[in-house]
């Protein structure tokens, strides 16, 4: 037990928690925007893969790190455009299209990787984002170490704040919340349901891709095929866990990251010697299922989630 306490009070543990939470926060915000507008985006897993790949490849080809982030975002938005064209004006099944987009984006990343690096067995490394030194803050005991984070992590939290502000404090956010609840009401007020929903999916997909790029540009320094490894699906669970609210979703991501960081450390303790390591690795997925069960009856789902809207069909 004391081992766990030691872990929980160490600054390095909390630094890891924030690091692990960052890509989840970015992608969860992306998914949350889509779902608030009424579109379930199951493309998230593949879009994170394409973001991880394109961001990394851009930097490998000589672009600055933020250039890589921009490229990843652009790639994500492109797949978001594909998803939204099919699901919004055409109103196709969001399940099928989302899975199709995930398969296509994942395959595109693999195809492009093999095309650009036909011979390599282990992927080349880039120099990733380094922890920022913030005068004053970084020198504080404990807190300075816990908050020793890269610029992309700070960016992730800034994005979460911006999403919350936009949703609750601006006319645009009001329209997005309305279009996920009752698109006909939005249409009747002279706003474009198609425009709002497509915009939300495209922007949200861009954020998911940046979440993926975090893995290659900040957390690790190269690209592996299996590196996203279900994080996208976990983010979908986090949106439900956060009851479609940005603040709660961020808290959920941090809680989740804390469990993840804990299981990594527990593997090195006496517990890790007794239990198979696969159990620890399965913990994030088990937790996600548990979160879905806990929130099942409580949250208010956007009423028009997964319901396509066709003008003139009242």
Partner 1 sequence: MRLEAIPNPSAARKIGLPALALLATLGVAMLLALIAGANPFAVLGQIARGALGSKLAILETLNRATPLIFTGLAVAVAFRAKLWNIGAEAQLYAGAIMAVVLGTGALGSPLVLPVSAGAAMLAGAALLLGPVLLKTRLGVDEVVTTLLLNFIMLLFVSYLLEGPMKDPMGMGWPKSPALIPEARLPRIVEGLRLHWGFALAIIAAVAVWVIQTRTTLGFEIRAVGQNPEAARFAGMPVNAVLVKTALLSGGLAALAGWSEVAGLKGHLSSDLSPGFGYTGIIVAMLALLHPLGVVVTAIFVAGIFVGSDAMSRAAGVPTYIADMLLATALLFMVLAILLTRVRVVRG
Partner 2 sequence: MSRDSGAEVVLRLDRITRRFGALTANDAVSLTLRRGEVVALLGENGAGKTTLMNILFGHYVADAGSVEVFGRPLPPGNPRAALAAGVGMVHQHFSLAGNLTVLENIRLGTEGLWSRSRAGAREKVARLSRDFGLAVDPDARVGRLSVGERQRVEILKALYRDARILILDEPTAVLTPQEAEALFATLRKATARGLSVIFISHKLHEVMAIADRCVVLRHGRVVGEVDTHATDKAALAALMVGGELSLPRAEARVPGAVLMRLDQVSTPDRGAAPGLKAVTLELRAGQITGLAGVSGNGQAALAEIVGGLALPAAGHLWLHGQEPETWTPREALARGVARIPEDRHHQGSIADFDLTENAVLEGYRTRFSRRGWMDWRAARAFAEGIIKGYDVRCPGPETRIRLLSGGNMQKLILGRALAPGPEIILANQPVRGLDVGAIAYVQAQLIAARDRGAAVLLISEDLDEIMSLSDVVHVISQGRLSPAFARGTMTAAELGLWMAGQKFEEAHAA
CB of 130 to partner 1, least distance (A): 31
Chosen from partner 2, partner 1, none, partner binding at 281 (C-beta under 5 to 8 Å by type): partner 1
The residues that bridge with 131 in the sheet, in sequence order, are 150
Chosen from partner 2, partner 1, none, partner binding at 43 (C-beta under 5 to 8 Å by type): none
Which residue of 190, 270, 273, 298 would you call a contact of partner 2, by CB under 8 A?
A: 190
Could you give the residue ranges of the DSSP H alpha helices within the chain? 2-9, 11-36, 44-60, 65-87, 94-116, 143-146, 151-169, 171-179, 183-188, 193-214, 231-241, 246-266, 270-274, 277-295
Q: Does 302 bind partner 2 (CB under 8 A)?
A: yes
Structural contact between residues 129 and 150, judged by C-beta atoms closer than 8 angstroms: yes
Which residue of 229, 247, 251, 271 would you call a contact of partner 1, by CB under 8 A?
A: 229
Which residue of 236, 250, 258, 266 would you call a contact of partner 1, by CB under 8 A?
A: 236
d(CA 142, CA 15): 10
Which DSSP letter does residue 137 get?
A: G
d(CA 146, CA 16): 8
Which residue of 186, 203, 238, 291 would you call a contact of partner 2, by CB under 8 A?
A: 186
Contact pattern for partner 1 over residues 100 through 119, marking x by CB under 8 A: xx-xx-xxx-xx--xx--x-
Closest CB to partner 1 among residues 18, 304 = 304
Q: Which residues contact 107 (CB under 8 A, 6 or more apart)?
A: none
Chosen from partner 2, partner 1, none, partner binding at 174 (C-beta under 5 to 8 Å by type): partner 2
CB of 90 to partner 1, least distance (A): 6
Q: Does 182 bind partner 2 (CB under 8 A)?
A: yes
Residue span binding partner 2 (CB under 8 A) among the ranges 16-24, 45-53, 187-195, 252-260? 187-195
DSSP for 273-302, written as a single string = HHS-HHHHHHHHHHHHHHHHHHHTTTS---
Q: 253: buried, middle or exposed (CB in 10 Å: 19+, 13-18, 0-12)? A: buried
Which residue of 74, 112, 132, 177 would you call a contact of partner 2, by CB under 8 A?
A: 177
Q: Does 99 bind partner 1 (CB under 8 A)?
A: yes
Near partner 1 in 32-61, by CB under 8 A:
42
The residues that bridge with 150 in the sheet, in sequence order, are 131
d(CA 211, CA 27): 5
Chosen from partner 1, partner 2, none, partner binding at 220 (C-beta under 5 to 8 Å by type): none
Q: How many CA atoms lie within 13 A of 308 on its CB side?
A: 16
d(CA 97, CA 207): 19
Binding footprint of partner 2 on the chain (CB under 8 A): 169-172, 174-175, 177-178, 181-182, 184-191, 300, 302-303, 311-312, 314
* Contact set with partner 1 (CB under 8 A): 42, 82, 86, 89-93, 95-97, 99-101, 103-104, 106-108, 110-111, 114-115, 118, 229-230, 233-234, 236-237, 240, 276, 278-279, 281-282, 285-286, 288-289, 292-293, 296-297, 310-312
């Amino acid at each position: 037990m004391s081992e766990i306490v030691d872990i929980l009070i160490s600054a390095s543990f909390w630094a890891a928690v924030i690091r692990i939470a960052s890509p989840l926060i970015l992608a969860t915000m992306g998914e949350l925007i889509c779902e608030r507008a009424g579109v379930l985006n199951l493309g998230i897993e593949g879009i994170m893969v394409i973001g991880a790949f394109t961001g990394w490849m851009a930097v490998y080809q000589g672009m600055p790190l933020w250039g890589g982030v921009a490229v990843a975002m652009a790639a994500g938005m492109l797949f978001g455009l594909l998803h939204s064209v099919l699901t919004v004006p055409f109103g196709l099944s969001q399940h099928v299209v989302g899975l199709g987009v995930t398969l296509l984006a994942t395959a595109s990343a693999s195809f492009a990787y093999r095309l650009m690096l036909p011979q390599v067995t282990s992927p080349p490394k880039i120099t990733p984002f380094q922890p920022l030194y913030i005068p004053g803050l970084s020198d504080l005991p404990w807190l300075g170490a816990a908050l020793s984070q890269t610029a992309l992590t700070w960016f992730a939290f800034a994005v979460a704040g911006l999403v919350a502000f936009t949703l609750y404090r601006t006319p645009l956010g009001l329209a997005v919340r309305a279009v996920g609840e009752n698109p006909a009401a939005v249409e009747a007020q002279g706003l474009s349901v198609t425009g709002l929903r497509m915009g939300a999916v495209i922007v949200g997909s861009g954020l998911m891709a940046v979440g993926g790029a975090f893995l290659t540009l900040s957390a690790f320094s190269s690209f592996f095929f299996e590196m996203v490894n279900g994080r996208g699906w976990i983010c979908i669970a986090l949106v439900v866990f956060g009851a479609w609210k940005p603040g709660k979703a961020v808290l959920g991501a941090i809680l989740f990251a804390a469990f993840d960081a804990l299981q990594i450390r527990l593997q090195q303790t006496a517990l890790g010697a007794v239990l198979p390591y696969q159990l620890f690795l399965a913990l994030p997925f088990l937790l996600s299922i548990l979160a879905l069960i806990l929130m099942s009856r409580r949250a208010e789902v956007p009423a028009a989630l997964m319901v396509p809207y066709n003008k003139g069909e009242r």
